[in-house]
Amino acid sequence: MGRLQGKVCIVTGGARGQGGAEAELFRNEGAEVIITDVLDELGQRHAAAIGATFLLHDVRSETDWDEVVRQTLERHGRIDVLINNAGIYARGKLLDTSLEQYRHIIEVNQVGVFLGMKAVAPTMIAQHAGSIVNISSIAGLIGAAHAVAYGASKFAVRGMTKSVALELARYGVRANSIHPGMIETDMITDVTGGNAQRHDRMAGAVPVGRPAAADEVAYLALYLASDESRYSTGAEFVIDGGVTAG
């Protein structure tokens, strides 16, 4: 029997990268999976390949969230897991970041997570069961140089997760955050600016000597999505090859 047998899981930003790997692993472990993303074609293709459902969804939109919850309940009748994974990165020093650019990152990475938790909470409370997994970053634990907005958004995700965990524990609903380090996805191109030397320098600075593949994070998400982690809530789970150990 799969580790998520019978569970209904929503994975935002699931068209590719870590969300894509999580969606695939969750399907392999027996879950019904709803992938959401702003990337329509890629999302459709990935969902078809793994036997998931795709919904076009901008995490910044409350009405989009209402629709994701409505359609998930219509198809499957429950929501067991929400992986708030969708996110964007942009390099930006304090003096080079406009208010508009700052707000844009906060809207996706922070407001998107807030709206997601708010959208699924009534269903999870009514079920007296649910696991919310918010994808933060090591940039939510330590300072991210030259990424003031991204760092702010990821610290916020860590804080929100703890507040919601305290609030919903009595209803059988858990919330935890994952803090990945350097993960080999499209986002790494944004982080390195597509510069191969910078990529290799970053990878060389990781104590284990390499970036992680997306599926290495997916296994941690699987644990937190499953009942195996039933005593964990409000906690931070770091997966960074040792970067924050020093």
Q: Which is nearer to ligand NAD, 24 or 37 (CB)?
A: 37
- Report the distance separating Cα 85 and Cα 70, nearest Å: 20
Sign of CA dihedral 168, 169, 172, 178: positive
Q: What is the distance between the terminal CA atoms of the chain, rounded to a whole angstrom?
A: 40
Q: Do the beta carbons of residue 52 and residue 28 sit within 8 Å?
A: no
Of 229, 231, 218, nearest in space to 24 by CA: 218
141 is an interface residue for ligand NAD by CB under 6 A: no
192 is an interface residue for ligand NAD by CB under 6 A: no
Per-residue binder mask for ligand NAD (CB under 6 A), 15-54, x = binder: xxxxx-----------------xxx---------------
According to DSSP, the β-strands at 8-12 and 236-239 are unpaired
Among 72, 97, 110, 185, binds ligand NAD (CB under 6 A): 185
Among 7, 29, 87, 156, binds ligand NAD (CB under 6 A): 87
Tokens of 137: 């970053």
Going by the DSSP 8-state scheme, the letter that residue 174 receives in this structure is E
Of 24, 42, 41, nearest in space to 33 by CA: 24
**Cα separation values, 205 from 72, 187, 211, 245, Å:** 42, 18, 10, 12
- Report the distance separating Cα 122 and Cα 118, nearest Å: 8
Q: Which is nearer to ligand NAD, 13 or 130 (CB)?
A: 13
Residues counted in the chain:
246
58 is an interface residue for ligand NAD by CB under 6 A: yes
Is 150 one of the catalytic residues?
Answer: yes
State the nearest-atom distance from the C-beta of 123 to ligand NAD, in Å.
20
243 is an interface residue for ligand NAD by CB under 6 A: no
Q: Which residue is catalytic, options 89, 102, 150, 171? A: 150
State the nearest-atom distance from the C-beta of 143 to ligand NAD, in Å.
14
State the nearest-atom distance from the C-beta of 211 to ligand NAD, in Å.
7
Q: In this chain, which stretch among 11-19, 46-54, 196-204, 223-231 interacts with ligand NAD, using CB under 6 A?
A: 11-19
Residues near ligand NAD, by CB under 6 A? 12-13, 15-19, 37-39, 57-60, 85-89, 108, 135, 137, 180, 182-183, 185-188
Q: Which residues are catalytic?
A: 150
